[in-house]
Amino acid sequence: QVQLVESGGGSVQAGGSLRLSCAVSGYTYSSYCMGWFRQAPGKEREGVARIYTNDGSTYYADSVKGRFTISQDNAKSTLYLHMNSLSPEDSAMYYCAAAFGLYGYSCSDERAYTYWGQGTQVTVSS
C-alpha cells in the first residue's frame, strides 16, 4: 500500500521560509507525477506545484511562482516543497499527492492523484 507522509509545516512570520517534505513508501513502480496541494478554511483545494517524475519538469500556480520550488529526491523517495517569501495568504493545510496511473486524466487534473498524505499545516502571520 502506497503511503505519503508530510512533515515540515509550522508557524512562520510573513517573509519567512519553510520546507515541506513528503516521504513516499510502498510503491513498486514510479509515479507519473507528484504534486503539492493546499486548502485554506472555506476555500477549495488548489494545486500549488507538481513535478513530472520521468523528466523532473515542474509546474507552479501563478500565486506561488518564483517563491516556491518543488523537487524530488529519488534516492530518499521524498518530495519537497521549498517555500520562500511566505505571506498570510499562503496559510493552509498542505497535502502531497501522487499519480501512479492517470486513469484518463492529465497531471494537471486533481483527479489523477489517487494517493494523498494526511496534510501538514502552514500558518503565516503578518
How many Cβ atoms are within 10 Å of 81's Cβ, its own excluded? Answer: 26
pLDDT score recorded for residue 103:
79
- Beta-bridge partners for 39: 93
Residue type, 98: A
User: Rg of the Cα trace of the chain?
Assistant: 14
- From the list 35, 42, 41, the residue with the least C-alpha distance to 64 is 35
Walk along the chain (126 residues) and give the pLDDT tens digit of each residue: 889 999 999 999 999 999 999 999 988 777 889 999 999 999 999 999 999 988 889 999 999 999 999 999 888 789 999 999 999 999 999 999 999 877 788 999 999 999 999 999 999 999
pLDDT score recorded for residue 94:
98
pLDDT score recorded for residue 32:
86
